Amino acid sequence: MFSLFIFSLRNAFRKKGVAVLAIIGVGVGVSLMVFILASSAGANQAFNQSFTKAAGEITISSENAPMGLGISGGEASLIPKSYVERVEKIKHVESVSPRVMTVISSKSLKTADPFSILVGVDPERDKKGDGPTTAIFEGRSFSKDEEVIVGKVLAQSAKIAARQEIKIGDKIEIIIPSKEPGIPPEKINLAIVGKFETGNFLEDYYLFSSEKTVRKIAGFPSDKINSIVAEVDSLENIEKVEKAIKKEFKNSEPPIQTLLNKDIFTNLENTLNIFTKFRLLISVFSGVAGGMCILIVMLISVIERKKEFGILKAVGWSNINIILSILIESLILSIIGVIFGLLIGQFGIFISGYYLEFLREYLLLSWQVIVFVLNFGVIVGIVGGVYPSWQASRVAPMETLRNE
């Protein structure tokens, strides 16, 4: 068997140029597969981190609040701040964070979206719930009015849209229209003092500041808030707490609605799974296209070596020996091509992450991806060699030698 392997190894590179082209063909297909699968693995990992972080939270807002947030619904979509204490008393609620929210222009930030969401929180309550003020990775949290911290995803959006990095110390110009005629609008500058990353990509797209700052910009009264984020002690108690909240506020005015982050992420997960399957399909087609190079090269090799196979059968080689020889040649070229493709794919991931920083966490070359690609390479090698090996085994020694 070892001698058969050595024989096949030598024959695989008998025509070096053709063998190299086959390896390159497989390598290019596999490198595309690696890049696509790595992006899927990275996206899934980022999603799972966000789900783990946010799945145990319930958002309580006014029944009139659009999308359960009340950002653009005016004062009609606000709820009394006194609701916070009532939510706190509910069993299994670990922490409660009241939030005031408004929309500001993204002109100063130069993000991909025309507006950004500014959220006002109580720093002490936010810390109890391990919120954004506890997840600073650059700079510091806000300590006074008109200071803001920026989410990592929002900062990346600015870098992509305008190739402009949001830096600590940058100013965000806000114009507050006057409510009285004849009085000019007030202009304030929010100072960026820090950047945060909670792992929840929804929150990481916001800016956070003090309640007082956001109230001033939005013009909301001090006894009203947009929403309450309640953190539950475990996922098992989510539905139980939601029912308790609805019961507590059943006859309250204004009425409330609850939004489970778990449900939001479940819907997002379904969408992500569709994209993952689509990308997997594209990656497999890329690999198969590369594998066709193996099939073509092996067919050409068999056609050119008919006399050789005839002689081998004449001196005692069986059909199994011929088939195994061709399959081994095909596997050798395929596996080398896969390894070459893995190297190209890894290099592509490195270059992409180097020049596009935001892609680093979304390109994950995990061991599952490597194992999948290696197994795929073995399958391609076998499938690519089946038909050529069958053709080689059908060679009739006497007829072949007579024709030669």
Per DSSP bridges, beta strands 136-139 and 186-196 are: antiparallel
Two structure tokens written together for 24? 């390159």
Residue 321: C-alpha distances to residues 149, 157, 308, 397 (Å): 70, 60, 13, 14
Asked if 227 and 65 count as a contact pair (C-beta separation under 8 A), the reply is yes
Provide the β-strand partners of residue 280. Answer: none
Q: What is the DSSP letter of 396?
A: -
* pLDDT tier, 138 (very low <50, low <70, confident <90, very high otherwise): very high
∠ CA(337), CA(340), CA(342), 5° rounding? 110
Pairing of strands 207-210, 256-260: unpaired
Is the distance from CB of 154 to CB of 111 less than 8 angstroms?
yes
- Whole-model pTM: value is 0.66
Cβ–Cβ contacts within 10 Å for residue 92, how many?
Answer: 15
How many other CB atoms sit within 10 Å of the CB of residue 127?
16
pLDDT score recorded for residue 334 = 86
In tens, the pLDDT along 370-404 reads: 888 888 888 888 887 887 788 777 766 665 555 55
Each residue's pLDDT tens digit, 190-246: 999 999 988 777 788 899 999 999 999 988 888 999 999 988 888 788 889 989 999
For residue 102, what are the β-bridge partners? 118
Residue 7 has pLDDT above 70, yes or no: no
How far apart CA 164 and CA 160 sit, in angstroms, is: 8
Going by pLDDT thresholds of 50, 70 and 90, the confidence category of residue 46 is low
263 or 383: which leads in pLDDT: 383
pLDDT, tens digit (0-9, with 9 covering 90-100), for 69-122: 556 556 678 999 999 999 999 999 989 999 999 988 777 676 667 788 999 999
Q: Prior bond to 221 cis, omega within 30?
A: no
